[in-house]
Amino acid sequence: MLSVLAPIIRTKSTVSLNDSMIRKPRIQTKQSFSRNTSIGFIRKTMKTCILDSGLERDHMRLEVFELEDGEDFEMQPEPLVHLCNDKPVNYTPDSKKLAKNGRNTIREIKYEKEAQTKENKEKFKFLEEQYENKGETFEVLTEHDIRKGHRPENLAQLYPCLTHPSPIDEFNALTAKITPKKKTLSQMHRIADRRGIPRIFVKRAIAHRLFTCDLTQPWSSLVLTWD
């Protein structure tokens, strides 16, 4: 998303940007009024965000699901200020992830067709260089990276479970004295029934990654493993 800074910026002396931070102007186009805008909430980091598309929503769910302890994630992080058409402008990324090694990964979320336009390719090359100069990584993710197999709909089921704490006690009760440590979802449901544990705790254990499974597979076909 690109937006001109507030009108109070009148002269070039109000910002200090070198020649490498000057980008060619883009062709202005009308924004769609039918965009699927929604509000997102990341419980692990207690942050809210605006999601401008279903693809951004699916990206957020995936990143939150895979977030490790000691990592941080946010949508619409702080903008990158640069010059475009002799004016200071903001480029606001779609997301930022801070890894355990301390390096930021900045991401732009685009559908493949839009990402492959000549204008966007030039913009992304410029942004990659700018963020590399800051010691950060810039990536463009498309639906091919985010929407693999049945993962989006499976994460849609699991995401509400992240509002609940990790069910450590129920997980231990579910898996106690079970060998081998590998069961289908339906088998684990039957174990839960026999042990008087509500089936919802199986889903919560998957959401909190106490079980390991391939979420690109259909929900009813999931195979759960654990340590």
169 part of a folded domain: yes
Tell me the pairing of strands 80-84 and 22-23.
parallel
Q: Give the range of the structural domain holding residue 38, as residue numbers without chain letter.
A: 34-146
pLDDT tens-digit series, residues 163-196: 999 999 999 999 999 999 999 999 999 999 999 9
Same-domain check for residues 136 and 177:
no
Same-domain check for residues 62 and 157:
no
pLDDT tens-digit series, residues 4-48: 333 333 333 344 455 555 555 444 333 444 456 788 888 777 788
21 part of a folded domain: no
User: Cβ distance 209 to 224 under 8 Å?
Assistant: no
Q: What is the mean pLDDT of the chain?
A: 86
Tell me the pairing of strands 223-225 and 182-184.
antiparallel
Same-domain check for residues 181 and 159:
yes
Same-domain check for residues 162 and 141:
no
Q: Which two tokens stand for residue 6?
A: 């507030």
Q: What is the predicted pLDDT for the residue at 46?
A: 77
Q: How many domains does one find in the chain?
A: 2
pLDDT tens-digit series, residues 126-162: 999 999 999 999 999 999 999 999 999 999 999 999 9
Q: CA-CA distance, 51 to 98, in Å (whole number)?
A: 20
170 part of a folded domain: yes
96 part of a folded domain: yes
* Amino acid (1-letter code) at residue 63: E
CATH number of the domain bearing residue 81: 3.40.1350.10
Last residue of a domain, one of 123, 146, 169: 146
Last residue of a domain, one of 146, 181, 198: 146
**pTM for the full predicted model:** 0.80
Same-domain check for residues 136 and 156:
no
Same-domain check for residues 41 and 130:
yes
